[in-house]
């Protein structure tokens, strides 16, 4: 009997050693990934956009929107009021089957502004994502090579278009196909509870954008944000079939990876004028669906993105498991602390550097409580997005 118990005990100890070893190795890989992203951020230049009007190209800004009556007028006006020659700036607002007053607002603004046109979409094939269909419809309707996309709930600095164009002017011989920019959340008039979780999600949201920026800084595609993205029309035409049209989202995610595979250069703009302000998810359910939608695309990603996602899932799952093992006295507290520090220290250094580089305020008072929810929330969103689907613009999807 004693021998049996001893064998059982040895078996459990062996399993624990294997578990700790796997999570520790995963943690080391995670640190290497984060340092790689940080080094990429350091390589991003602060682009100057003092370009003479004679050197400016014609640009088309595409604004797809569905049921954005609260924001669409302000969005369109912030693009109309750009410090960019009106003769070189075309704006296409795409009404994607809106059921509110969004199309009426678009049409009224188009009557007053000759460089604004409106496309109304009434039906969408089941074989293509509505947003991808809206963007592609607008792309096909313009003759301009330079295309910038944004969303129907965004606000832009008056020099936004110039700042997005600047990398193309500074790297004329570099075959730049994509220029990405940073988008931040902005929501006034919040109560105390909402202010707390909105600021926590702001930090988490920016972390995703900084990873994308760091990857681009290293010349590697990870993802981008369609609310602040310049893409050449030739790239769209060449890679249209790479957008995975059957998937609900990911127009920005897939096009940037396709661009790298086709040897286009990628750039990320680093100046205050390029930053776009967007309205955040206004409920916890909306936040969960948003993150689940993002996570649902991971299995279709490039090898680098997929390996990072898998390793992060393993590392985060290991830390969460270690919390329960420690609580039940099955693991030493110092092991849990070491594993958690392997996450906390590199992430904090990365975020502090990234927030500073883009001139953003890193609010420590929200970052600290975020650590209690960050791991379980991201694991839940990954599982939900992959296996249970999400809701977007009033429609339920399952990838």
Establish if 39 belongs to a structural domain: no
Q: How sure is the predictor about 99, in pLDDT bands with cuts at 50, 70 and 90?
A: very high
- Res. 13: pLDDT tops 60: yes
Of 22-26, 132-136, 274-278, which range is least confident? 132-136
Contact in structure between 399 and 296 (CB atoms under 8 Å): yes
Tell whether 292 is covered by a domain. no
pLDDT in tens, 311-336: 999 999 999 999 999 999 888 999 99
- Evaluate if residue 11 carries a pLDDT over 60: no
At residue 249 the predicted structure's pLDDT band, cuts being 50, 70 and 90, is: low
Domain presence at residue 116:
yes
φ/ψ of 64, rounded to 5, equals: -75, 140
Task: State phi, psi for 128 to the nearest 5 degrees.
Answer: -140, 145
Q: Is residue 26 in some structural domain?
A: no
In terms of Cα–Cα distance, which of 203, 152, 151, 136 is closest to 181? 151
**260 pLDDT more than 80:** yes
Say which residue the tokens 């220029």 belong to. 179
Has residue 180 been placed in a domain? Answer: yes
Closest CA to 138 of 261, 44, 236, 217: 236
Assign 3-class secondary structure to 103-124.
HHHHHHHHHHCCCEEEEEECCC
Beta-carbon contacts of residue 224 (< 8 Å; ≥ 6 apart)? 178, 180, 212, 216, 252, 253, 255, 256
State pLDDT tens for residues 189-248: 888 888 898 899 999 999 999 999 999 999 888 888 889 999 999 888 877 666 655 565
Look at residue 365 in the predicted model and tell me its pLDDT: 93
Q: From CA 158, how far away is CA 155, in angstroms rounded?
A: 10
Phi and psi angles of residue 181, each rounded to the nearest 5 degrees, phi first: -135, 170
H-type alpha helices, the chain: 2-43, 72-80, 102-112, 130-141, 160-170, 192-217, 233-239, 251-261, 284-295, 303-327, 333-357, 364-383
Element (H, E) at 93: strand 89-96
- Average pLDDT of span 46-64: 82
209 is a domain residue: yes
Q: Please give the C-alpha separations between residue 42 and each of 49, 199, 214, 284, 356, in angstroms, as whole numbers.
A: 20, 25, 8, 34, 11
CATH of the domain at 208: 3.90.550.10
Please, how many CA atoms are within 13 Å of residue 340, restricted to the half-sphere of its CB? 15
Beta pairing, strands 176-180 & 265-268: parallel
Question: Beta strand 229-232 with 176-180: parallel, antiparallel or unpaired?
Answer: antiparallel
Closest CA to 197 of 360, 373, 385: 373
Which among 382, 376, 381 is positioned nearest to 323, based on CA atoms?
376
Joined together, the tokens standing for residue 10 give 């040895």
**For 362, what's the count of Cα atoms within 13 Å in the CB-facing half-sphere?**
17
Q: Quick one: pLDDT at residue 305?
A: 86
Q: Which domain holds residue 251?
A: 53-283
> Residues of the chain with pLDDT > 90: what percent?
58
Q: Which tokens sit at 110?
A: 């188009």
Residues of the chain with pLDDT > 70, as a percent, come to 88
**To the nearest whole number, what is the mean pLDDT of the chain?**
87
Domain annotation covers residue 83: yes
What is the bridge-based pairing of β-strands 176-180 and 154-155?
Answer: unpaired
In a domain, 206, yes or no: yes
Residue 150 and residue 267: Cα distance in Å, rounded? 17
DSSP string of 315-384? HHHHHHHHHHHHHTTSS-HHHHHHHHHHHHHHHHHHHHHHHHHTT----HHHHHHHHHHHHHHHHHHHHI
Residue 340 pLDDT > 80, yes or no?
yes
Taking the alpha carbons of 40, 32, 228, 224 in that order, is the dihedral positive or negative? Answer: positive
3-state secondary structure of 209: helix
* Cβ(386)–Cβ(296) below 8 Å: yes
Domain count, the chain: 1
Structure tokens at 375: 């791991």
């Amino acid at each position: 009997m004693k021998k049996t118990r001893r064998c059982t005990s040895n078996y459990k100890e062996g399993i624990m050693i294997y578990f700790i070893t796997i999570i520790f190795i995963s943690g080391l890989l995670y640190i290497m990934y984060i340092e790689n992203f940080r080094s990429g951020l350091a390589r991003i230049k602060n682009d100057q956009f003092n370009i003479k009007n004679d050197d400016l190209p014609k640009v088309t800004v595409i604004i797809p929107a569905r049921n954005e009556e609260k924001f669409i007028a302000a969005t369109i006006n912030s693009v109309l009021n750009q410090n960019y020659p009106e003769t070189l700036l075309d704006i296409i607002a795409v009404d994607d089957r809106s059921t509110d007053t969004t199309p009426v607002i678009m049409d009224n603004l188009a009557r007053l502004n000759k460089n604004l046109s409106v496309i109304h979409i009434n039906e969408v094939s089941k074989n293509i994502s509505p947003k991808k269909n809206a963007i592609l419809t607008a792309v096909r309707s313009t003759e301009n090579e330079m295309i910038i996309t944004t969303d129907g709930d965004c606000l832009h600095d008056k020099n936004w278009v110039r700042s997005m164009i600047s990398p193309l002017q500074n790297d004329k011989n570099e075959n730049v196909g994509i220029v990405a920019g940073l988008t931040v959340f902005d929501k006034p008039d919040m109560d105390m509870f909402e202010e707390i979780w909105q600021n926590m999600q702001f930090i988490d949201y920016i972390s995703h954008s900084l990873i994308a920026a760091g990857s681009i800084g290293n010349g590697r595609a990870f993802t981008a944000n369609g609310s602040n993205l310049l893409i050449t029309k030739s790239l769209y035409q060449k890679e249209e079939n790479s957008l995975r049209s059957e998937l609900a989202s990911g127009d920005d995610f897939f096009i940037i990876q396709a661009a790298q595979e086709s040897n286009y250069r990628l750039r990320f703009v680093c100046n205050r004028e390029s930053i776009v302000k967007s309205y955040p998810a206004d409920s916890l359910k909306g936040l969960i669906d948003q993150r689940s939608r993002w996570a649902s695309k991971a299995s279709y990603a490039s090898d680098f993105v997929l390996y990072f996602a898998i390793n992060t899932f393993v590392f985060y799952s290991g830390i969460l498991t270690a919390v329960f093992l420690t609580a039940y006295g099955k693991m030493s507290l110092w092991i849990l602390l070491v594993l958690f520090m392997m996450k906390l220290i590199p992430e904090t250094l990365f975020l502090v550097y990234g927030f500073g580089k883009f001139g953003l305020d890193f609010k420590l008072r929200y970052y600290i409580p975020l650590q209690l929810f960050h791991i379980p929330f991201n694991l839940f969103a990954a599982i939900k997005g992959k296996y249970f689907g999400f809701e977007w613009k009033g429609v339920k999807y399952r990838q």
